[in-house]
Structure 1
Amino acid sequence: MTVRDIATTGIETAGPDTTAEALALRMEEVGVGSIVVETDMEPVGIVTDRDLAVKVLAAGHAPDEVTAAEIMTETPVTVEADEGILTATNAMAEHAVRRLPVVDDDKLVGIVTMDDLIVLLVAELGNLSRVVEAESPTY
């Protein structure tokens, strides 16, 4: 299984000049915790709900005056769409990130999150538990 198989496509993106206020409103509207900042379909940053809380609100900045470029994590850790799931989990662990933009030839094609991987893992553990149950003696 590749990252492409579990990646969410049609992800939320914004340009570097988008205001923090607009980012927050979009996150709330579509129910996501991050927006990938892109230029020409290439991810140049990522803004999370935590970035909004810490870098804008807690810092006392006006959300309508701060831009994505000012608060984003620049050069986000990405994963190639055709890489295996283990590559994605290793990248998350190594860089302590919960979200990985997915790229194909440096172009943004989706995102994979820790939540996506947990859902996959739980499903796979369920499959394995059925094997154990089928092979276990009944008393």
Structure 2
Amino acid sequence: MATKIRDIMTGSPTAVSPQDDIVSVARRMRDEDIGNVLVAEGDELRGIVTDRDLVVRGLAAGGDPGSTKVGGLCSDVTATVGPDDPPERAVEIMRERAVRRLPVIENGRPVGIVSIGDLAVEKEGSALADISAAKSNL
């Protein structure tokens, strides 16, 4: 069982600019086979945007795919964890904030993302662990 966030997080997170349009971000997610990216301006973390955000807050809200910027769609980062924090800390924050993923910050810079799925894989035998550990069907 993992004792630190660094043992279960997804490292080297993909970051995009708040000025990037939703089409280019969606293509990047497709090409990298990921469902979320960090939104950053220089070294400043502005938020997280998910594939669902692109659809619900962007396309379904009537946004023009070529001109709608992800900076207006992303969720603000309300909490983070450090790579040396215990996984239980991430669980606690996710429960309190009702979020499914947290940026992992070290020395003021994002070094990873930990998701509810990452944490679930650690809890062997649960249905969510089995689903999270399964190979992608894409």
Q: Which amino acid aligns with 2:55?
A: A
How many angstroms does 1:115 deviate by?
0.9
Which of 58, 70, 78 is the aligned partner of 1:56? 58
Structure 1 residue runs of 5 or longer lacking an equivalent are: 124-139
Contact 2:47 2:77 (8 Å CA) reproduced: yes
Q: Which amino acid in structure 1 is aligned with residue 21 of structure 2? A: T
Runs of 4+ in 1 over 3 A off after TM superposition: none
Query: Equivalent residue for 2:122?
Result: 120
Contact 1:41 1:107 in 2 (8 A): yes
TM-score, with length taken from structure 1: 0.82
Task: Report whether the alignment pairs 1:24 with 2:10.
Answer: no
Instruction: State the match for 1:110 in structure 2.
Output: 112
Alignment of 1:8-87 (within 5 A): 8-87=10-89
- Deviation, 1:76, is 4.2
Once residues 96 and 47 of structure 1 are traced to their aligned partners in structure 2, the CA distance between those partners, rounded to angstroms, is 16
Kindly provide the CA deviation profile for residues 71-120 of structure 1, in whole angstroms up to 9, marking residues without a partner as x. 11123421112111100011111111111110012210111111111111
| Bigger Cα Rg | 1
1:96 paired to 2:98? yes
Comparing 67-76 with 54-63, greater Cα deviation is found at 67-76
CA contact (8 A) 1:42 1:108 kept: no
Using the size of structure 2 for normalisation, the TM-score is 0.83
Query: Are the equivalent residues in 1 in contact too, given 2:4–2:85 (CA < 8 A)?
Result: yes
CA shift digits 1:38-74 (9 cap, x unpaired):
2333421110111111111111111111111111112
What count of residue pairs does the alignment treat as equivalent?
124
- Asked whether the equivalents of residues 21 and 66 of structure 2 are also in contact (C-alpha less than 8 Å), the reply is yes
CA RMSD of aligned residues (A): 1.7
Structure 2 gap segments, 5+ residues each: 126-138
